[in-house]
C-alpha cells in the first residue's frame, strides 16, 4: 500500500506503517442510513475536516447523492467550494464577522443565525441574491440561539427583509445520546410550542446523529448527521440502528520491535505496567502524536493480525506497547488495528474517558488512504 505523507514539502511515500484507511463506500452507506431512518433530507456534517476523515474527499464521495453539507465556518466551506463542491453548504455558526457576508453571497452559502448581533448585521446588509437562513432556537442547550420567547420576533424581522428568501427553523439537542433522559422531549416541546404559534409552516431541523438514531418521532424536514456518517455510535449502550453503521476509518500500523521480559520488569514511561509473569512485548508505530489517546489504560483493546490483544504500559508520542504473550504467531511486521471494525472507536474512547468524535478529530501525522470499492 502506497500513501503520501501529509507534509507537502516531502513528496515521498510514507515509510512508517501508520495509516488511516478511509472506506468511502461505508461513508455512503451511513449517509443513506441517516436519510432512510429519518425520512428527511440530510446535510452531511463535514466540519473539522470531516471529523478527521478529510472533508474534500468525503464531500466528493457523497456529492452525487447528498442534499448538502454542513461546516463550522466559512474557511471550511471555501475549501469545499475550491474543490468543486456545488451542493448547498450550511455554516453551522453563521458568520463571525459581518465582513464575511460578501464571500457568503459569492459562494452561495447558507448560514445559521443564532444571535441578535448577526440579525442586526443582516438587516444592514444589502445582498444582491436571495438568502437561505437557518434561524436557531435555544430550546435548552444554552449555548447559542434565540430563547423561545424571543424567537418569533427574530423570525419576523428576518421575514421583513426583501433579501431573505427562505428561513429554516432549527435547534440542537444537548442530551439526545442519553436515551432514557427526558431532556430531549422537553427541548422538542419548547420548540413545538413556538412553532405551532407561528401561523405559517416552515421547514425544521432538530436532529444530530443521536437524534436521528434514538429519537425517531421528532419532526424533521432536515437532519444533520455527523458522527454516524463516520460509522461510530453516539451511544454508550448497544442500539439496533447504531449496529447498522459501518466504521469508515481503520487506524492501523505494524509491530516494529519485539522483546521478551521476565516477571517483575516494567514497560515504558513511568513503569505503569509491570509484568506479573514473563511477557512478550510488541512495539507498535503509533503514539499520541498520531492522535491515539494517551489516556488508554493497560488492557485497552487492540487487534494484532486479526486477534484480540491489549495495550500494556503508557502510550508514548510515537510508539505504544502491546501484549504478544498469547499470540506466538505475531511478531515483526504484524498488522495492528488501533480502531476500526474490530476495535470500535466509541469503545476505546469510552475506556479513555473520551468520545469517538475527539479520537477522530485528534488524528494527526498519519497519512489517509482512501478506498471506494
Ligand X SMILES: *Cc1c(COP(=O)(O)O)cnc(C)c1O
- What are the residues binding ligand X (CB under 6 A)? 45, 47, 92, 172, 208-209, 224-228, 234
Q: Which is nearer to ligand X, 170 or 255 (CB)?
A: 170
Output Rg (C-alpha) for the chain, integer angstroms.
Answer: 23
User: What are phi and psi for residue 34, nearest 5 degrees?
Assistant: -60, -45
Question: Was 143 annotated as part of a binding site?
Answer: yes
Contacts of 285 (CB under 8 A, 6+ apart): 16, 17, 18, 253, 254, 256, 318, 319
CA distance linking residue 1 with residue 140, whole number of Å: 48
Minimum distance, C-beta of residue 30 to ligand X, in the bound complex (Å): 11
How many Cβ atoms are within 10 Å of 189's Cβ, its own excluded?
A: 12
Between residues 31 and 292, which has the closer beta carbon with respect to ligand X? 31
7, 10, 269, 364: the active-site residue: 269
**Which is nearer to ligand X, 211 or 287 (by Cβ)?**
211
Of 3, 5, 6, 51, the residue nearest 27 (C-alpha): 51
Among residues 356, 304, 300, which one has the least CA distance to residue 332? 304
Q: How far is the CB of 343 from ligand X (least distance, A)?
A: 20
Min separation Cβ 345 and ligand X, Å:
13
Quote the least distance from Cβ 224 to ligand X, whole Å.
4
* Shortest Å, Cβ 38 to ligand X: 12
DSSP string, 304-335: ETTEEEEB-S---SS-EEEE-TT-TT--TT-E
Strands 368-371 and 307-310: unpaired
- Taking CB atoms, the residue at the shortest distance from ligand X is 226
DSSP 8-state symbol, 133 = E
Phi, psi at residue 250, to the nearest 5°? Answer: -115, 115
Nearer to ligand X, 47 or 368 (CB): 47
CA-CA distances (angstroms) from residue 224 to 44, 54, 191, 318, 345?
6, 18, 17, 35, 21
Nearer to ligand X, 191 or 303 (CB): 191
| Catalytic annotation present for 357 | no
Q: How far apart are CA 215 and CA 241, in angstroms?
A: 11
Cell of 115: 444571535
Q: Are 91 and 136 in contact (CB under 8 A)?
A: no
Q: Is 317 annotated as a binding residue?
A: yes
Question: Residue 151 CB, nearest distance to ligand X (Å)?
Answer: 16
From the CB of 104, what's the least distance to ligand X, in Å?
17
Specify the residue, 208 or 253, whose C-beta has the smaller distance to ligand X: 208
Question: Considering all CA atoms of the chain, what is the largest pairwise distance in Å, rounded to the nearest integer?
Answer: 78
Q: Is 269 a catalytic residue?
A: yes
Q: Which is nearer to ligand X, 209 or 250 (CB)?
A: 209
Residue in 31, 47, 51, 136 annotated catalytic: 47
Neighbours of 202 (CB within 10 A): 16
Mind telling me the catalytic residues? 47, 269
Which segments are annotated as binding site? 143, 317
Which segments are annotated as binding site for substrate? 143, 317
Amino acid at each position: 500500500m502506497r500513501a503520501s505523507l501529509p507534509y507537502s514539502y516531502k513528496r515521498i511515500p510514507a515509510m512508517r506503517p501508520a495509516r488511516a484507511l478511509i472506506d468511502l463506500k461505508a461513508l455512503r452507506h451511513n449517509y443513506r442510513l441517516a436519510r432512510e431512518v429519518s425520512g428527511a433530507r440530510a446535510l452531511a456534517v463535514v466540519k473539522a475536516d470531516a471529523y478527521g476523515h478529510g472533508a474534500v474527499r468525503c464531500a466528493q464521495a457523497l456529492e452525487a447523492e447528498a442534499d448538502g453539507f454542513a461546516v463550522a465556518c466559512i474557511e471550511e466551506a471555501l475549501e469545499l467550494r475550491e474543490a468543486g463542491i456545488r451542493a448547498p453548504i450550511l455554516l453551522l455558526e453563521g458568520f463571525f464577522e459581518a465582513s464575511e457576508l460578501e464571500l457568503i453571497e459569492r459562494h452561495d452559502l447558507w448560514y445559521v443565525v443564532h444571535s441578535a448581533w448577526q440579525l442586526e448585521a443582516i438587516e444592514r446588509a444589502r445582498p444582491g441574491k436571495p438568502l437561505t437562513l437557518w434561524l436557531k432556537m435555544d430550546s435548552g442547550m444554552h449555548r447559542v440561539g434565540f430563547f423561545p420567547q424571543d424567537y418569533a420576533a427574530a423570525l419576523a424581522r428576518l421575514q421583513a427583509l426583501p433579501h431573505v428568501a427562505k428561513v429554516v427553523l432549527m435547534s440542537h439537542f444537548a442530551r439526545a445520546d442519553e436515551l432514557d433522559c427526558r431532556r430531549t422531549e422537553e427541548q422538542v416541546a419548547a420548540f413545538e410550542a413556538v412553532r405551532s404559534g407561528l401561523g405559517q409552516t416552515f421547514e425544521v431541523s432538530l436532529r444530530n446523529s443521536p437524534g436521528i438514531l434514538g429519537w425517531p418521532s421528532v419532526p424533521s424536514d432536515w437532519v444533520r448527521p455527523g458522527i454516524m456518517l463516520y460509522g461510530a455510535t453516539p451511544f454508550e449502550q448497544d442500539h439496533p440502528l447504531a449496529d447498522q453503521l459501518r466504521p469508515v476509518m481503520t487506524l492501523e500500523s505494524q509491530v516494529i520491535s519485539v522483546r521478551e521480559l521476565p516477571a517483575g520488569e516494567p514497560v515504558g514511561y513511568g513503569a505503569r505496567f509491570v509484568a506479573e509473569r514473563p511477557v512478550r512485548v510488541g512495539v507498535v508505530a503509533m503514539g499520541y502524536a498520531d492522535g491515539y489517546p494517551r489516556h488508554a489504560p493497560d488492557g485497552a483493546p487492540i487487534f494484532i493480525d486479526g486477534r484480540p490483544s491489549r495495550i500494556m504500559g503508557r502510550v508514548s508520542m510515537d510508539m505504544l506497547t502491546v501484549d504478544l504473550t498469547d499470540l506466538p504467531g505475531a511478531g515483526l511486521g504484524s498488522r495492528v488495528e488501533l480502531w476500526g471494525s474490530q476495535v470500535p472507536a466509541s469503545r476505546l474512547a469510552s475506556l479513555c474517558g473520551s468520545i469517538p468524535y475527539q479520537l477522530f478529530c485528534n488524528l494527526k501525522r498519519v497519512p489517509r488512504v482512501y478506498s471506494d470499492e
